[in-house]
Amino acid sequence: MIPWTLLDTAAIPNNGGELKFSQRDKEFSIRLSGIRGELMNSRVYNSEKVLSELGCSHLKNRKNAHVLVGGLGMGYTLSSALKAVDETSQVTVAELIPEVVKWNQGPLGNCAGNPLQDPRTTVRVGDVKQLLNTQKPTYDAILLDVDNGPEGLTHSDNNWIYSVVGLKEIYQVMNDQAMLAIWSAGPDYLFEVRLKKIGFKVDTRVVRARPGKGSKHTIFLAKKV
Ligand SMILES: C[S@@+](CC[C@H](N)C(=O)[O-])C[C@H]1O[C@@H](n2cnc3c(N)ncnc32)[C@H](O)[C@@H]1O
């Protein structure tokens, strides 16, 4: 068995611990420090890809669509969003941790086909929240994979995204018929209720971590109607 080599580490803001970026042959891993486990592995990305396929399915024939991706990770959601929209569209990706962007510009780039090099991509280093509280309709799709989901946050500042206050602000920055797609490690009935109360039309899908196998993840699809 080839041993893991630690390539780099990065601090998570607000004393959130550390990310450890490692490589073993062609496989990459980003782990959270302590016992919090693996955040991403370059071999396991089916639900991250499907997040964009479902969240952008209404944009197939749309010109000049604007998609916001929250959380670059290993770039699979971003890459899949770029495949889902046409050449006149743009995709903005927000990533909290500068080193994650650097890793994607370097060794991680090939994993998802170098989506940061696509001329339609704009990277914003910082909290996705800053792009979600502008209070004017801006996005045709918002794809969020910044944490475990509404429950069991790894980064407590992300609570806002799943709260009534946060969801109301997100609703305001969505164009009519836009889709909010949120990745979650598991189902959350109360979160669905919260989305519906705000006015979203909600659909929930279960998606496997690998095609046809692996953990069952949840994708919340919330449409602004
Ligand atoms: C599970 S990974 C995303 C994986 C990604 N969907 C992919 O395809 O590889 C979560 C990412 O979100 C970032 N993140 C966490 N909170 C964030 C926030 N509030 N704003 C922007 N990025 C955030 C983390 O640093 C991490 O890179």
DSSP 21-41: EEEETTEEEEEESTTS-EEEE
Six-digit token string for 54: 């479902």
Between CA 23 and CA 6 the distance in angstroms is: 7
pLDDT for the residue 34 = 82
Burial class (CB in 10 A: 0-12, 13-18, 19+), 45: buried
pLDDT for the residue 152 = 65
Ligand 1 nearest-atom number relative to CA 19: 25
Digit-coded pLDDT (tens) for 67-102:
999 999 999 999 999 999 999 999 999 999 999 999
pLDDT for the residue 189 = 96
Between CA 6 and CA 188 the distance in angstroms is: 35
Rounded (to 5) percent helix, strand, coil in the chain: 30, 35, 35
Is residue 70 helix, strand or coil?
A: strand
Query: 146 C-alpha vs ligand 1 centroid, how far in Å?
Result: 4
Six-digit token string for 218: 């949840």
Query: 129 C-alpha vs ligand 1 centroid, how far in Å?
Result: 12
Type and span of the H or E element at 84: helix 76-84
Between CA 147 and CA 116 the distance in angstroms is: 21
Q: Report the nearest-CA residue for atom 4 of ligand 1.
A: 73
Q: Domain limits of the chain?
A: 44-224
Six-digit token string for 15: 């004393």
Q: Which of 72, 102, 103 to mutate to test the pocket of ligand 1 (most atoms within 8 A of CB)?
A: 72
Could you say which architecture CATH assigns to the domain 44-224? 3-Layer(aba) Sandwich (3.40)
Question: Residues, the chain, total?
Answer: 225
Write out residues with Cβ below 6 Å of ligand 1.
39-40, 45, 48, 70-77, 94-97, 100, 127-129, 145-146, 155, 158
pLDDT for the residue 151 = 80
Ligand 1 nearest-atom number relative to CA 94: 21
Q: Please list the ranges in the chain whose pLDDT falls under 70.
A: 152
Ligand 1 nearest-atom number relative to CA 183: 6
Q: Report the nearest-CA residue for atom 5 of ligand 1.
A: 73
For the entire predicted model, the pTM comes to: 0.97
